[in-house]
Structure 1
Amino acid sequence: MKTEDEGSSEGGVTPAAERFAASTAHTAAVKRLIPGGAHTYAKGDDQYPEGMAPIIERGWGCHVRDIDGNEYIEYGSGLRSVTLGHGYEPVVEAVRRSIGDGVNFVRPHVLEREAAERLVDLIPSAEMVKFGLNGSDTTTGAVKLARAYTGRGMIAACRQHPMLSVHDWFMITTPMAAGIPTDIESRTVQFDYNDPESLARLFAQYPGKIAAVILEAETIEPPAPGFFAALRRLCDENGALLILDEIITGFRWHERGAQFIHGIKPDLCTFGKAMANGFPLSALAGRREVMRLGGFVDDVDRVFLVSLTAGAEPWALAAMLAVIETYEREQIAERLMKTGAELRAGLEQVIADAGLADHLQLAGRDCNLVYVARDAAGAPSQIFRTLFLQEIVSRGVLAPSFVVGAAHDAETTARTIEIVAAALPAYRRGLEDGPEAVLRGRPVRPAIRPRG
């Protein structure tokens, strides 16, 4: 990277305006063409320090290079989807071979059966599967199935899980609800994670109206003992379906999903992200009795389920089969946990050594680490998150989280720990003298917000 290790806020370092000149010019130009300047809100330049939002040119393993020539160790690749690393050859080769034989045929491809059989064998609760392109299509498909199966309209969604779908039924619960008719607001109600009583109250308040309960298996907070058993019981007692969103946990917690780790028994579940190492593929799976409503049925009305021109493309399914083979051959899920644990231990040590354990903290499962930046009063702070990002990005670590992949090894984690240690004096100075003494621009902002 074209920066010195001394950091971005001390003397003798190339100014950010020079190091990120091409990326900054690119971002300014693209905002005239693309609303927000990116096709994913979490990838927007507002999520990075001002003037330090690199535009990526290429990646290899856990490394990327931007159009200014800066190189980084990257974490959370593909919003957690690239678990095997950029350009992972067995997956790339499987895709290459498949594409060479044609794409998007007028009839289903032979790989669809193999892929479906493989996934149904893998996922404990799966009896049938429908492939899609993204997580939102599959969670919304699950919601439609639940409504048709139960004859009810309401959905109970977990309040602490911020992105269950981009579709109206969920986005109405977020600050970015513009463009959604307000008359659907009452159709989605919310309960709290690890609080089955909050769900019980909803069932009591809306008797016979809730079609399904939907949540992720785990984000930062692990499930409390008995939590999912309580949800299963409440759903059964009240005639609702349990939908488990495994878009992130699947192929990261375990190739068989977090449902395998935690013994969860959903009626429907959704997978995406890592199942094809970043290639666009998702899956809706579950009980045959429910899933069949999206097929050819005569006894009830059919559900228009996931139906996409580019659905179940053979190259994406080939990628998934290569990913599954790699996970099982090389025990990838165990490697992610081991690498994440080593990274956590090293980072927590240097943070403690700097006296900042109350102000910069790691959270989540070892395979899915995020960090929380806190101000002098100990409150979570976007300003101090920006300051931390400013210091690590300038040194060659691109880390909106510390979510590891299989390409992260002892060398890259050791280098990351060194870079974080070098960044901490600036964080300390920000606490002592105020962040304005170190921060050079506006703070990052929540990706899901109503204005600005």
Structure 2
Amino acid sequence: MASRERVEPSFARSMQLQRRLHELVPGGAHTYARGSDQYPERMAPILVRGAGARVWDADGNRFVEYGMGLRSVTLGHAYPPVVEAVRQAVADGTGFSRPTTLELAAAEDFLTLIPGADMVKFAKNGSDTTTAAVRLARAATGRDLVAVCADQPFFSADDWFIAGVGMNAGIPAAVHATTVRFRYNDLDSLRALFDAHDGRIACVLLEAATALAEPAPGFLTGVRALCDRTGTVLVFDEMITGFRWSAGGAQGVYGVTPDLSCFGKAMGNGLPISALAGRRELMELGGLATDAHRVFLLSTTHGAETVSLAAFRAVAAAYRRDDPVGVMERQGTALAAGVNQAAAELDLADFVAAVGRPSCLVFTTRDASGQPSQAFRTLFLQELLKNGVLGQSFVVSAAHTDDDVADTVEAVTRALDVYRKGLESGLDGLLHGRPVAPALRSHAAPRRL
């Protein structure tokens, strides 16, 4: 592909809109990961539309986008079957006082994808489902502690989890002691928790795998065995792995069945839907077929509105009909190869690399001493934006075409030219503004808008 002449993008209108957002919305966005502080200063596009793997901002700039919808869009923006399903659902009414036939059909579709689950309940976001899983586990076991994986960044916006992160103002001190942590791929660290809190751990909650960490041989089966031996509920967070590792999530890849599993993100291809699924004897604690003290389980006005359920059914049909995961694996493999070859040709392979599972790629950015660097990450993001690529990662969708990948590799090559200058001579004059900061932090960084 011939190299295109570079046109420096303007973000003037996006900056104006971002200032107004900060006046009206705390943090200027409704998700911390979408905040302007996660992007180079004065280069945080405000988007107006998307199609496939491309998006357009308020200034008319067009980008190849990665990590689409915070990894929730696997089929592409405005995917026609989802659009049509949503259009029909809206035309037939969206909210009713009784269950709809769509709820039954969606439940049947979902449970067909997750063979180890007997029942499902739909919700709107992942935090609600993980918190519901914790509540079920506590009710079933009569225990209070939750064991979560310390190497995985996020499980819920609710107090039981946020108490343990830096951004935890407003959470009672008593809550902090209810969540304990073990290390991924370290069975001994989990055994130590069970020994230290004998008979008190209600559930073990983890992602079976992440972009950068596959389960070591025997780890997941060992976790399953420990939970069985201690009467502890095993919960898999499948928010990212669901519909990206396989339609059935990581449990469908690694062959270990949890007691409860929590799905979301890609279920609706960007529409708000999540799911808690699991064994009947646990799920029915929130139902009517139980003599036990009942659990208040995901009872919300909009939990089963028809638009998101219709979107999910269209997504499930696409996964039955086509092979979105295979496409993501192929395009991610091609993208990683192109990025890493470009870095190698500039002798930058030790500093910038596309790494991880091909369907869930991230990129590394290191400074001249070889240490991970937020400043150099910001420089890389800055240069990618200048060259038409938007993304905090290289997480692909099934909509990314060969041309999208080629355009991205070209943008990376141009960005690496600037990156090399930064390594050789420092960032003065190259990095325009402050470095990006972690999204979940205790204090806000200074911002200039």
- Shorter-chain TM range is over 0.9
**TM-score for the superposition, normalised by structure 1:** 0.96
After superposition, the C-alpha distances for 1:247-286 in whole angstroms (9 at most, x for unaligned) are: 1100111111110111121000011111110100000000
- The counterpart of 2:183, out of the listed 192, 197, 200, is 192
Who is 2:139 aligned against? 148
The amino acid across from 1:407 in the alignment is A
Moved over 6 A (4+): none
Asked if 1:280 is matched to 2:307, the reply is no
- The counterpart of 1:71, out of the listed 49, 62, 72, is 62
- The counterpart of 2:416, out of the listed 410, 424, 428, is 424
Give the deviation of 1:436 after TM superposition: 2.1
Who is 1:100 aligned against? 91
Structure 2 distance, partners of 1:360, 1:396, is 18
Who is 1:23 aligned against? 14
Structure 1 distance, partners of 2:355, 2:443, is 29
**SS of alignment partner, residue 155 of structure 1:** strand
The amino acid across from 2:343 in the alignment is I
Q: 1:438 to 1:306 in 2, by over 3 A?
A: same
Greater CA deviation, 258-267 or 291-300? 291-300
- The counterpart of 1:377, out of the listed 369, 374, 390, is 369
Structure 1 distance, partners of 2:20, 2:90, is 33
Give the deviation of 1:362 after TM superposition: 2.1
- The counterpart of 1:323, out of the listed 305, 315, 318, is 315
Give the deviation of 1:298 after TM superposition: 4.4
Who is 1:126 aligned against? 117
The answer as to whether partners of 1:430 and 1:437 remain within 8 angstroms in 2 is no
Who is 2:339 aligned against? 347
Who is 2:329 aligned against? 337
Who is 2:238 aligned against? 246
Who is 2:447 aligned against? none
Q: 1:277 to 1:298 in 2, by over 3 A?
A: closer
Structure 2 distance, partners of 1:377, 1:163, is 29
Structure 1 distance, partners of 2:91, 2:343, is 50
Who is 1:359 aligned against? 351
Name the Cα RMSD after superposition: 1.0
Structure 2 distance, partners of 1:111, 1:408, is 31
The amino acid across from 1:121 in the alignment is T
The amino acid across from 2:152 in the alignment is H
The amino acid across from 1:416 in the alignment is T
Q: 1:45 to 1:447 in 2, by over 3 A?
A: same
The answer as to whether partners of 1:81 and 1:274 remain within 8 angstroms in 2 is yes
Who is 1:45 aligned against? 36
The amino acid across from 1:242 in the alignment is L
Structure 1 distance, partners of 2:354, 2:409, is 13
Structure 2 distance, partners of 1:157, 1:263, is 21
Structure 1 distance, partners of 2:32, 2:115, is 33
**SS of alignment partner, residue 398 of structure 2:** coil
Report how many aligned residue pairs link the two structures: 440
**SS of alignment partner, residue 435 of structure 1:** coil
Asked if 1:303 is matched to 2:295, the reply is yes
Give the deviation of 1:389 after TM superposition: 0.4
The answer as to whether partners of 2:374 and 2:436 remain within 8 angstroms in 1 is yes
- The counterpart of 2:228, out of the listed 236, 242, 256, is 236
**TM-score for the superposition, normalised by structure 2:** 0.96
> 5+ unaligned residues in a row in structure 1: which ranges?
7-12
Structure 2 distance, partners of 1:264, 1:433, is 50
The answer as to whether partners of 1:124 and 1:259 remain within 8 angstroms in 2 is no
> 5+ unaligned residues in a row in structure 2: which ranges?
445-449
After superposition, the C-alpha distances for 1:173-222 in whole angstroms (9 at most, x for unaligned) are: 10011011011111100001111110000000000000000011211211
Identity, % of aligned pairs? Answer: 54
**SS of alignment partner, residue 115 of structure 2:** coil
The answer as to whether partners of 1:138 and 1:284 remain within 8 angstroms in 2 is yes
The answer as to whether partners of 1:133 and 1:281 remain within 8 angstroms in 2 is yes
- The counterpart of 2:156, out of the listed 156, 161, 165, is 165
Asked if 1:313 is matched to 2:326, the reply is no
**SS of alignment partner, residue 296 of structure 1:** coil
Give the deviation of 1:437 after TM superposition: 3.5
The answer as to whether partners of 2:54 and 2:63 remain within 8 angstroms in 1 is yes
Q: 1:379 to 1:273 in 2, by over 3 A?
A: same
The answer as to whether partners of 2:284 and 2:290 remain within 8 angstroms in 1 is no
The answer as to whether partners of 2:339 and 2:353 remain within 8 angstroms in 1 is no
Structure 2 distance, partners of 1:75, 1:298, is 45
Give the deviation of 1:449 after TM superposition: 0.3
